[in-house]
Structure 1
Amino acid sequence: MWGAFSALPTTLYDYPDPMVYVVWSLTMLIPAWFSLRGKKFDRSRTAAGYGLAIGLTGAGGQLLLFKALTIGPAYVIFPIVALSPAITVLMAFGLLRERLGALSWAGVVLALAAIVLFSVSTDTSESNGWLYLLLAVLICVAWGVQAFFMRKAALAGVDDASTFGWMTISGLVLIPVALLMMGGLPLDFPWQAPALTAGTQVLNAVGALFLVMAMSRGKASIVAPVTNALAPVLTIVLSLAVFGARPSVFQVAGIVLALAGSTLMVYRAEKSGEAELVGAAR
């Protein structure tokens, strides 16, 4: 839901997209308080290292995402972002020397085909077309790296509350970057702009906490495909239904291939991750 409506403050009130990031980072404090209440915050070097790596890649991706959503359609951006498991899979292959099964390679091939279709459907006469496509790919890379570190943090025994706490800190750390992008704090906007932003982004923050909790409590091979495939589907459906957009044939094909590739890759990768966790527990 938050993905479909994140661009509304900018569209309706010309609210700067970096301010959307600032409001999002502040809303992260709400679920962080609930998650850490009554629990010990892990300040160890291991937790801090993985937590900041997870948080900075996630927050950096968010900063780019809010810009992308102001210049490009959510129904194209989110399927590309959903291909982030390709980055995670390839990092595991290259850095951890993990063997990849047929499903993983099939997912990578579908991901590449989806990117080609989105590129073909992009209007090359407008610079914004290439810009939002490039930003979507960069977000995909950032969140793929984030997922890799999330997996490593789980194997290292870092609890989900501490991980989310470090994610919140990382989001706040990048606020000065957002302010520099705007040249200062804008004050000449109606109250509806930050209010609408806060209402939308609190869904984003709570969803992030639910994801971290679900990944630590449930089977990753079930949780990850649901969040990587079904979440973009909901965003796409809402975006198309509410804003009345009509994707091209190439875009529809790209959306289908992206979601299929994401599901195949993340299912295979998380099944492998579950095996690692069982081995570590033993």
Structure 2
Amino acid sequence: VGVTAYGVRPRLRDESPARRWQLPWRENGWQWLRAAGGGVLATAVTGWPVAGLLTLAGVVALPRLLGRDKQAEARTGKLEAVAVWAEMLRDTLSAAAGLEQAIVATAPVAPLALREETARLAAVIEDGRPLGEALRTFADDVDDATCDMVTAALVLAAEHQARQLAPLLGQLALSTREQVTMRLKTEAGRGRVRTSVRVITCTTLGMAVGLVLLNRSYLAPYTTAEGQVVLAGVGGLFSLAFWWLMKIATLEEESRVLKGARPGVAAR
């Protein structure tokens, strides 16, 4: 229980460029080390090999199910950033600025979720790269279906002289904000499900730990081979239920429009 709680709790991360590439490996490595340590500890305390395996699986899977959905939060934040940036471009274009000038002008003040990508886009535009190619590279950098819609409108305007770009960007920003509102409502419903899962999981784990520590004689049947098989079956049912909850709580993202749209990528 303690190891699982340690895995669930939020932790501050060092996002400096020198360490960012190391974070995924370090996080996964420490997670598996904690899981292995929890499994060995559970086996040593109870004497049940199945308890060690279930603890290992719990330490790996439960933090994702019981903790905050960071991927969904990042996706919502990116949607909001796309809407704000589209409105910035719309307002800048309405002031009689060209498309390239509008992109370069809005890049330094773009929302944080998009600032790094917009800064790279502005840099390649200032280096003289064709605007359409630079926008397709930008779309691959962001890797978001909603941002693809905004970028596709910019590509059409850059390569085919599309008219009414500013009103189109305004409509795209409005639809993106509607998506954000819908996702926030969905997340509120998922939050209630997660709370119920936390209560059930903590109650079950607390009762199991209490029986192990205070009433070992009640669990004596599990020390036999048949008892271990039964324990594995119970643990398998819980694992199946948690997997199903995780599956129904995951939102499927729409497919991208400009995926692999760069000339070099398409040719490969």
Q: TM-score, normalised by structure 2?
A: 0.32
Q: Which protein has the larger Cα radius of gyration, Structure 1 or Structure 2?
A: 2
TM-score, L = length of structure 1: 0.31
